[in-house]
Structure 1
Amino acid sequence: MTAADLQEYVGVIDRMKSSLNSADFDQVFSLLTSDLPKSKQFLLKMELKRMAQPCSYFIDLRGHVDGDVKPYDYMGKTHYMDDNAIKVFEAGLKQYGSYTLGLYEEVLNTENNFRVMHRKQTEDRVRNALQNDGTFTNQQAEAEPELPPQYARVIHFGQYTSRRDERMHFSIDVEVELDGKRFQASTSDLSVSGCKLKLQQAAKTDAGKLVKLHFTGLEQEFMLGLEQGVAYKIVEVSQQGANQYLRLQRQQNENEQQFAEFLQKFINGNKRRYKVNLDNVSQSLLSKGYEQFYVPRINALPVFIAVRNGQPIPICALTTDYNKAIWQYFLDEQHQAVFISICHARRLKHLLQQNSVEKSTILYSFTHAVKGKLFFYSATHEELDASEQLKALFLGFGASKPSWRVFQLNLQRSSAAQAETPLTVPVQGNIKPPPPLSSLVKQFIQDVRYIVSFTDITGNESTFWYQSYPVDQQQLKLLAQFGHKKLTNTPPCEAVAVQYVNLRSESRYLYKTAVTVKTSADSTELSGHSRDFSSKGLQLETTLPVRFSKGDILLLNLPEMQKISSKYQLSALPYEVMAVSKSRTIMNLRAVEGDQPHVGRLFFQQLIQNNRAKLTQAEESPKYPGLSTALRNLYMNAQSHFALYVHRKGIRYEINTLAKGSAGNSLHQLLAIQSKDEQQLDLSLILQNNAISLHFAQQLKQMKRFDSPKAFELYVVISRNAETEQPELHCHYDYEFMSEQAKQQYVLSALQTNVLFCYKLLLSRTGRPDTDFIAPELSYISAYAIHKAKQLEEELWSVAGVIDAIDISAEIPWRFGAQAELSQQHYARQQALLAQLKQPVS
């Protein structure tokens, strides 16, 4: 596709298409471009030569155009195009003379291509929004097509239903004795400890009341001797259609022990005749499965705060491959974490006093190095809001430094009691209950009361805007109040890595041997040594920092290994850089395979095979076994993040599942505006204009499992319908704006009269599910319904990506330079709307 800076010369390009390979090309080109500058002539000629290059790409428009796609053979290759694309292709062959790159791009940009249609729609929507100065009229709402709701299935993190015994789908007649009256009912499921009743006629009763059941149906077949009935307590009263249901819990006493034994034998003897109720186990399996996709990819760094002698003490953080950079950022020159200075008592107290469900703020931070020591400066949104002068000084000066970071901080209450892994399946046979926490872990976390989550929301574009704040160099000394003093005795704060399935294709082995490295373009050699290796790669540590980056190809020599091998030539071995440490001295390398087998891979394969018993595997043993699982449970029971899951169905991608924490966040509330039901969340707003297939799916196709998340920003504007007074939602993504200035104009206009929410969406690619983590649930379900177990397992295997949504609404006004009064007024409207959404529907 022609670059944007050449779009004004598209007429010249069209005229020259038929002359691309002709002898008079230069003469015609000179005539048509004689009035253009030499630089533009050069760019146009390069563009025309690019378009004239022969193309061998297959064209496959299935699922990409609004039309019927059919096979089309050309030069021995089968393309898939609709009638419109075929016309463009055949006309282009006459114009270009052959199948070229320019023709390929034209076929992919026909008017009925969903991507082209989406781009034009979004440009029109943004243009209309800007022309309306951030306000939305009834006429505009009528012009926008009403989207059908796309209700998502909601997975609740950290909420498992514990079952001591099995429930069986079993219908039998019973008599219910309630308040001296008897009425007929029937069971819909039955267990030793309780049952669920189906009532034909509604009864006036509430949870907590005691009733007596007379099992008239069972007594016709068995001598139970229960003339006085069995005592139960009503746990829940629900209505489903025309029927009322009562969930009951059997009351324990000595007289019913014989009945309990009878029920246990009866259920065990009839498992194969009647279905065992698997609903709760299935729900627990899905919750754990989706959690295990999310937890290793959390972008927030959870820091666990213990309260000792009345003071908050950060004791550890739960780290992943995605949040390690945050942990490393808050390490000083002695590699000690400084969270005790960042999460001081005054800040935590201010967060706890917030009226909102989410206790959150924005933290701005930078560092300053003096005489080999690293000093941290940080300020929250509220601390800077007290003074416009200090706000501009801190933001403007801080954003000019390479260490500038913007974090979203979330504070959640926690308790050590939530660290135990709950029982999700009845204990029987080979299924054992999860092991309890060790006394060592219990002692370590016994004082944990809070979790502070740090999410890095810094961006290159946002830093540019913060740098525009004026800085008075004479006032820089005022920033000293935001500096954190060095502590003489800093309590230790440890990094605890998330334990999850090992997705490495093979084991790594610890081994140190000399390595020299250079690139094909540079003859300078660097010395280093291996830290560990596998047949497909190795970890290399160099004596000096390197300038290599991910994707670079290096040539390795193994001089010491060469002495023990005459079969393999261990020099100039090509390896690709996969990751570089923050110190720039440690690299993860992967063997680059070519037409011939990689010599290094063959050598290491033989080395491992012949010396497996002598080699030491590179596996990290945790300091406190079980601590990672305990912290994971604490975090999942407390966090309120919003997660979307991308499923791959054949060649298509779809989003129909989302997850929420214990309380949810503002985006959960906004998606429930239309349904007025927290369990009916409508995704049509954020998936409009094929966002899933045109942006999220395209990114996922290009991503690998270890790649950093791809970031999007979502802007949701809530206005009031002038006639109905009902809130109306309008959504835009950052990629819909033509420039940062257009985005700024849109945001400032929306802040004037409407309510604006902003979210950073972080898209990560997932790996395979950790089946060991869900093995108890999967095994239990398979014993009774193998088809259901396979269906649930297939669902988890189809997960291709996860989107973590972070609320950055508080940061956006300051980023784009909104006045203090405007920001405060907008914040008040925002909180009023959220408070209104919390109120129950009358």
Structure 2
Amino acid sequence: MSQDIEQYSDIIEQLKPVVGEPEFNQVLSQVASALPKPKRFLLKMELMRLAKPCKHAIDLRGHVDGECSPYEYEGITHHLDEVAVEVFERQIRSFGAYTLGVKETVTNTENNFRVMHQKQQQEDLKKKDAEASETEEPPVDLSEVFQANQVYFADYAQRSEERMNFSVAVEVFSEMEDALKAMTVDLSVRGLKIKLHKKHLFKTDERIMLFFRGLEKEYSLDKSEAIPYLITHIDRSRDEQRISLKRLFDKPTKTFDAFLERFIQGNKRRYKLNIDNTVDAILTKGYEQYYIPHFTSIPVYISQQNGQYVPRYALTNDTNQESIYFWADEQHHLRLGYLFPHQRIEALLKKPEGEQETYIYSFNHIKDGKSYYYSATLEELEANPKIKRAYLAYASRKASWRVYKLQLTDMNPEQCHQPLSLPDSVNDIVRRQNQPPAPRLMSRLKDLSHIALLTDITSDIGVKAYQKLKVERNMLVQLQTFAHPRNKPPENIGLYRFKYQNFRRETRFQLRTEVHITMGDLEFQGVTEDISPNGLRIELNNLYPASRHARLAITFPKLQAMTQKHVLKDIPYDVADISAERNVINLTAVTEEDAPSAKAFFEELIKNNRNKLKTDQIEEDIPGIGEAMRNIYAANLLNIPIFIKKEGVNFKPDAITTPKVENALIPLLNFKSHKGNMNLYPLYSAPGLQQDFIRNILRKLKTNSKPVMDELFIAFDPSQTEIQSAIQTQFADQFQSFNECRKFIAKALGAGRFYAIKIFIARTGRPDTELLRAEMNYVGAYASHRAKSLEEHLWSIAGVGDIVDVTDEVMLRHGFLKEHIIMNKMKAAPKEDEALPIS
């Protein structure tokens, strides 16, 4: 690409998806409208060149800073590294085929040695020029670097009809003024938007009359017929205002209605439909589908029956299942309901809205092979001050010690239905997907009134803080106050999930059977968690001692006793994945010739026992209930999801979702943010290597890895003008001592406000475009370049995070009193020496 053309690389990237499309020239004129025609012609020629088919293999071995491996596409074997594969696939989606443009982009990635050398030369030259001119570049404004677009889950408007972008002169008669001139922005049969100068005064719910003067000139419309509208929304900018209007049908206008419907149907491809709401809906749903499978919290749905609050259902995913089944007793009965007695829910509801939360401290005790559970909320402990210290001291020394944040919000069963953003009239597929839920499903949901969100915030650093309390042996008998009696089991909580597309090649089946494992001279034992013809997941008795890709020999002693037909000894498997705790490994069967295999045995076992073996997913007893739970939770978020995109080799903030209820973190994230954005600077401002915490984590994580959690301390002084002075942060593990943590908190309180947050970071997979298919096809039909741009945006999302406010719990475990917590929320501050030990 020549230097003349290279300066327009951003425009070229926008136009790649529409090369060869019928609307290419039109889109080119729109996107490059500021350029003179000769430049536009050069851009067109360059794009046509880049779109030419290519048959040459790309071999990057020795040319990039990365390990290359074979990569086949349409019969051509390339040798690409991980970065190149990602760029290759992205460019293929843009061009729709392997073209010259794909090859050139792949051979010019940021980790290409040639590109790196050229950049270094350019930087050296700039440095010399800077030294020669003795001028310094202005410092980077860090308040601009970490801006993230603000989005809202479950907030996509459904249109009852198609709306067309169309500008035509209208005359407006209001209650206050006569004959104002305006222009339409878009229109439909039942509504439209107009723009006019902001000096004219209007108010919402005001009735106005419109004459379509621009249409009267071309069509046979009654010039004396005024069409009544109601103002629903006013958006004012510096010079103009845009007013959204809804048709009023209090007088018959059948002739005009029929004309307008014919006019829109006949011209919607010429003037383009307004699809902004559908584009927004697709993007929001894309964020939702990245977040729902990766949150670690447990949403529990509470029903209200006969004056009692009862936990009924929980929404599960692959990430929170471990926390859920932690509450399975020795007989595998789920005892999670112990945490949600009526009295706790009722106590939370008495708190002001936005403050309906608490912390639960729990542990279990095993005696004679039986599990005994204990739990207490912060308020329950404070009501028993003599027992509080003994409980925290003893419980925090148990391996089963857990600290949870419990949040409560109300909900509406009607939120289970989220129709498409498209009107029913588009096609039969859309009409079917817009159908309301079945009465049987709604009958299951009708008594649900609240969501109780349970988040495990236990950490090693937190445990050490609580263990500073001395165990008072004489008080241990008093802990029975917080014991859950075994003879009164809790309500059973039904588990449901909304399953996004399954990326596995085959179904896994739950089967626990003993295995013996050998790896060279090492021998260890384990139990299978699930099996398939081509893979296993094994829970080990000890920690896994080796790395991924190691080859193991697996023997199945109990399964071998069932068959003489198959040999199930020393079957080779490769390690595909290792859990963060290194006690669970995923294996894939070796497919090499002459290698012994258990595939035939497992195929036969599954075939003969299909009715007995459960798949490793929760089956729905009522179709759609998992989706209903997912929709309700998306509409009632309590924590703050963030989304990270990948640009080349860099990870950058992309979007953030905020709860609709009050959240204490909003003032912090709003600091130095643009309109419609929030500022994620606090997550990137820790000293040292931790400044790149998110990037470093995402580079290490795989798609199916558990989220990584860390705890961040934040000192916020909003009176400062520079963001670096206003926000000081440090991760919990960066402090050298307990007292150093306390000093940081006290100093933050003295200068402004203290926050502590848990950050959960996970690596995303590819988007489930099938769920977005109807809306994506609609956008593609009227603006294919926008559809491809949308898909490109969704594919760029590489990480998802969850931010949980744990300020109060951190202050309590560092010896600050309830009064200090209240003052912190009021932005008042105690003196450093007022902090006392946990009491």
Asked if these proteins are the same fold (TM beyond 0.5), I'd say: yes
The share of aligned pairs that are identical, in percent, is 26
Residues 1:347 and 2:344 aligned together: yes
* 1:464 shift after superposition: 1.1
The correspondence for 1:625, drawn from 623, 626, 633, is: 623
Measure, in 2, the Cα distance between the counterparts of 1:420 and 1:550.
48
1:514/1:338 CA distance change after superposition, 3 Å: closer
* Matched length: 697
* 1:241 shift after superposition: 2.6
Is 1:363–1:406's contact at 8 Å kept on the other side of the alignment? yes
Q: Which residue of 1 aligns with 2:824?
A: 829
The correspondence for 2:680, drawn from 665, 678, 683, is: 683
Measure, in 1, the Cα distance between the counterparts of 2:664 and 2:370.
40
Q: Which amino acid aligns with 2:800?
A: V
Summarize the alignment of residues 579-594 of structure 1 with structure 2, pairs less than 5 Å apart. 589-591=586-588
Residues 1:421 and 2:407 aligned together: no
Residues 1:444 and 2:440 aligned together: no
Measure, in 2, the Cα distance between the counterparts of 1:144 and 1:185.
43
Query: 1:53-103: CA deviations, max 9, x gaps?
Result: xxx99979xxxxxxxx99989xxxx999969x99xxxxxxxxxxxxxxxxx
Measure, in 2, the Cα distance between the counterparts of 1:525 and 1:691.
37
1:440/1:365 CA distance change after superposition, 3 Å: same
Is 2:712–2:729's contact at 8 Å kept on the other side of the alignment? yes
Measure, in 2, the Cα distance between the counterparts of 1:173 and 1:72.
58
Measure, in 2, the Cα distance between the counterparts of 1:740 and 1:421.
48
Measure, in 2, the Cα distance between the counterparts of 1:220 and 1:728.
60
Q: Which amino acid aligns with 2:452?
A: V
Q: Which residue of 2 aligns with 1:666?
A: 664
Q: Which amino acid aligns with 2:672?
A: Q
1:204/1:531 CA distance change after superposition, 3 Å: closer
Q: Which residue of 2 aligns with 1:205?
A: 202
Measure, in 1, the Cα distance between the counterparts of 2:234 and 2:536.
61
Q: Which residue of 2 aligns with 1:153?
A: 149
Q: Which residue of 1 aligns with 2:311?
A: 314
Residues 1:655 and 2:650 aligned together: no
Residues 1:803 and 2:801 aligned together: yes
The correspondence for 1:398, drawn from 382, 388, 395, is: 395
SS in structure 2 of the partner of residue 701 of structure 1: helix
Is 1:332–1:338's contact at 8 Å kept on the other side of the alignment? yes
Q: Which amino acid aligns with 2:238?
A: G
1:415/1:529 CA distance change after superposition, 3 Å: closer
The correspondence for 1:382, drawn from 359, 379, 384, is: 379
The correspondence for 1:262, drawn from 256, 259, 264, is: 259
Q: Which residue of 2 aligns with 1:326?
A: 323
Is 1:717–1:750's contact at 8 Å kept on the other side of the alignment? yes
1:756/1:736 CA distance change after superposition, 3 Å: same
Query: 1:528-575: CA deviations, max 9, x gaps?
Result: 78953132x13569xxx833549676412465899657xx99734134
Deviates further, 603-612 or 265-274: 603-612
Residues 1:168 and 2:164 aligned together: yes
Residues 1:777 and 2:772 aligned together: no
1:158/1:722 CA distance change after superposition, 3 Å: closer
* 1:362 shift after superposition: 1.4
Q: Which residue of 1 aligns with 2:455?
A: 455
Residues 1:762 and 2:773 aligned together: no
Is 1:210–1:232's contact at 8 Å kept on the other side of the alignment? yes
Q: Which amino acid aligns with 1:755?
A: R
Deviates further, 683-692 or 609-618: 609-618
Q: Which residue of 2 aligns with 1:177?
A: 173
Measure, in 1, the Cα distance between the counterparts of 2:312 and 2:201.
52
1:597/1:635 CA distance change after superposition, 3 Å: farther
* 1:395 shift after superposition: 1.1
Measure, in 2, the Cα distance between the counterparts of 1:832 and 1:211.
47
Q: Which amino acid aligns with 2:160?
A: R
Measure, in 1, the Cα distance between the counterparts of 2:321 and 2:606.
34
Measure, in 1, the Cα distance between the counterparts of 2:241 and 2:280.
23
Is 2:208–2:229's contact at 8 Å kept on the other side of the alignment? yes
Is 1:668–1:678's contact at 8 Å kept on the other side of the alignment? no
* 1:368 shift after superposition: 2.0
Q: Which residue of 2 aligns with 1:532?
A: 531
1:513/1:387 CA distance change after superposition, 3 Å: closer
Q: Which amino acid aligns with 1:698?
A: N
Query: 1:792-831: CA deviations, max 9, x gaps?
Result: 1111111111111111101111222x143xx422333314
Q: Which amino acid aligns with 2:776?
A: L
SS in structure 1 of the partner of residue 208 of structure 2: strand
Q: Which residue of 2 aligns with 1:641?
A: 639
1:658/1:576 CA distance change after superposition, 3 Å: same
Measure, in 2, the Cα distance between the counterparts of 1:527 and 1:641.
37
1:272/1:533 CA distance change after superposition, 3 Å: same
Measure, in 1, the Cα distance between the counterparts of 2:804 and 2:142.
27
* 1:172 shift after superposition: 0.7
Deviates further, 212-221 or 522-531: 522-531
RMSD across aligned C-alpha pairs, in angstroms?
Answer: 4.2
1:258/1:736 CA distance change after superposition, 3 Å: farther
1:439/1:145 CA distance change after superposition, 3 Å: closer
Q: Which amino acid aligns with 1:758?
A: A
Q: Which residue of 2 aligns with 1:546?
A: 541
Q: Which residue of 2 aligns with 1:519?
A: 518
Summarize the alignment of residues 608-623 of structure 1 with structure 2, pairs less than 5 Å apart. 618=615, 620=617, 621-623=619-621
* 1:296 shift after superposition: 0.4
Q: Which amino acid aligns with 2:595?
A: V
Measure, in 2, the Cα distance between the counterparts of 1:750 and 1:456.
26
Q: Determine which structure has more spread, i.e. the larger CA radius of gyration.
A: 1
1:319/1:752 CA distance change after superposition, 3 Å: same
The correspondence for 1:215, drawn from 212, 216, 220, is: 212
Q: Which residue of 2 aligns with 1:710?
A: 708
Measure, in 2, the Cα distance between the counterparts of 1:713 and 1:645.
18
SS in structure 1 of the partner of residue 268 of structure 2: coil
SS in structure 2 of the partner of residue 255 of structure 1: coil
Q: Which amino acid aligns with 2:823?
A: A
Q: Which amino acid aligns with 2:668?
A: L
Measure, in 2, the Cα distance between the counterparts of 1:613 and 1:273.
60
TM-score w.r.t. length of structure 1: 0.74
Measure, in 2, the Cα distance between the counterparts of 1:529 and 1:723.
58
Q: Which residue of 1 aligns with 2:476?
A: 476
Query: 1:7-60: CA deviations, max 9, x gaps?
Result: xxxxxxxxxxxxxxxxxxxxxxxxxxxxxxxxxxxxxxxxxxxxxxxxx99979
Is 1:177–1:213's contact at 8 Å kept on the other side of the alignment? yes
Q: Which residue of 1 aligns with 2:786?
A: 788
Is 2:393–2:467's contact at 8 Å kept on the other side of the alignment? yes
Is 1:364–1:405's contact at 8 Å kept on the other side of the alignment? yes
1:799/1:831 CA distance change after superposition, 3 Å: same
SS in structure 1 of the partner of residue 293 of structure 2: helix
Measure, in 1, the Cα distance between the counterparts of 2:606 and 2:313.
38
